[in-house]
Homo-oligomer: A and B are copies of this chain.
Amino acid sequence: FKAFQQRAAQKKYPNLQMNGVFQADAGWVHQDEDSLNEFGRIEDGAGFRRARLSAKGSVAEHTNYLFQFDLGTAGIGRPTITDIWVEQEEVPYLGTVRAGQWKQPFSLEVVSSFRYTTLMERSSLFQAFTPFRRLGVGFYDQNADQTITWAVSGFRSGQDQFGGTYSNNSGYGTAERVTFLPCWSDEGQQYLHLGLGHFFNAPVNGVVNFRTIPEMFVGAHGNDIPVGSSGQPIPGPLNGVPFFVETGNLNVNVYNVLGTEFLWVKGAFSLQSEAMVNFVDQSGGNPMGVLPGMYAQVGYFLTGEHRPYDRKAGAIDRVIPYQNMRFWRDNGNGPGFGAWEVAARFSYLDLNDENIRGGTLTDYTVGVNWYMNPYLKTVFNWVHAIADNAAFPKSQTDLFGIRAQVDF
């Protein structure tokens, strides 16, 4: 009877649960002379990288929604709508059908939450080549064993931070992803994830600009003045770490990005890598441009934990320390130190091909993660970024970052 009551209570619609997350970052930058010449002085800084609240729940059985907005630096000067979607589960043939704005199915590190990334920022491939959040319609499902997942979406590309796209001339894209889990043992302490993805885009007005920051971001908001701290004009009211490589506006018909995913976890050790190739079908008589990129990273938990996996989403999940950090004595327990992980990443992005002269970016990153409890972590990163552009000699920039992250 009690169980029945509980079940009845759970079935009350609509229901709503509030959650949130914030990241307080501090960053310091050291530049060699070439970096100073190319990017200007990049200021040290401290700020909130993300500051989000969300409401999620169900409005009917099998009908779920998510509503999330961001007040942090990532909000680009104003609160940003991140995710707003509604989905219907148990649709014949399709599985779950979703409409609204969400992270489109392409790339392991994109589909996985930023909460669980091993390093402070996603790799240089993320900003340059992936669709990220878009307003569209899609579906996803998995096989009964949860060893294969797939997802397909169509969306409007090119929207502003309110999710709006406005154009009579293109602005449509699609994304598809399929993942495999050939090995899974020790209740998820050992597994191998493989994935394939495809992103097609016909950008608004046939114009696109591929670019990225150097895997660390410390940014401020100017008074809507489109000038970065570097003195380089950049779009939007950002005043922080500038783009290190950038093709400038390219006239294209469409472009297609193909991507591969690899994640191998063996206990405390993890090895993760993705590679992408961007086939840029240029208009105006310019030849096809082929832009490749890749990253590979390793992580090792000094305290023995492992990197968990969400088999339904084909994505990385939350790290649970064996012991929470604690300084006091509670029920006879001694002090705790949380979980400690060391990590390193190599990434490479090549935005040069044919007439395209965006430059190449090579980043070396080392990091230490201190998971004080499942919801609080402190991250230390050191990025050494080597940008090689046509107009400037090879520049060397070191970026040091500290992040405190709380999600709740």
Contact = CB atoms under 8 A, between A and B. Distances in A.
Contact of A59 (B43, B165, B406): B406
Interface residue SS majority, chain A: strand
A146 interface: no
A354 interface: no
A153 interface: no
A92 B327 CA distance: 7
A73 to B, nearest CB: 6
Interface of A: 13-16, 18-20, 22, 24, 26, 41, 43-48, 51, 53, 55, 57, 59-63, 65, 67, 69, 71-73, 75, 77-79, 81, 84, 86, 88, 90-92, 99-101, 135, 156, 159-160, 162-168, 218-221, 223-224, 226, 229, 239-240, 324-328, 330, 372-376, 404, 406-408
Given A46-B156, A71-B162, 8 more contacts: A18-B55, A22-B65, A44-B168, A60-B375, A62-B328, A86-B406, A100-B404, A166-B220
Nearest to A164: B47
Copies of this protein in the assembly total 3
A314 to B, nearest CB: 23
A408 B55 contact: yes
A163 B15 CA distance: 30
A237 to B, nearest CB: 8
Query: Of A55, A84, A164, which is in contact with the most chain B CB atoms at under 10 Å from its CB?
Result: A164
Contacts of A223: 224, 226
25 contacts: A16-B18, A20-B67, A22-B84, A24-B163, A43-B168, A44-B167, A46-B135, A47-B159, A47-B166, A48-B162, A59-B373, A59-B374, A65-B408, A69-B71, A71-B81, A72-B81, A72-B162, A75-B162, A88-B327, A90-B327, A90-B328, A92-B327, A100-B404, A164-B220, A166-B220
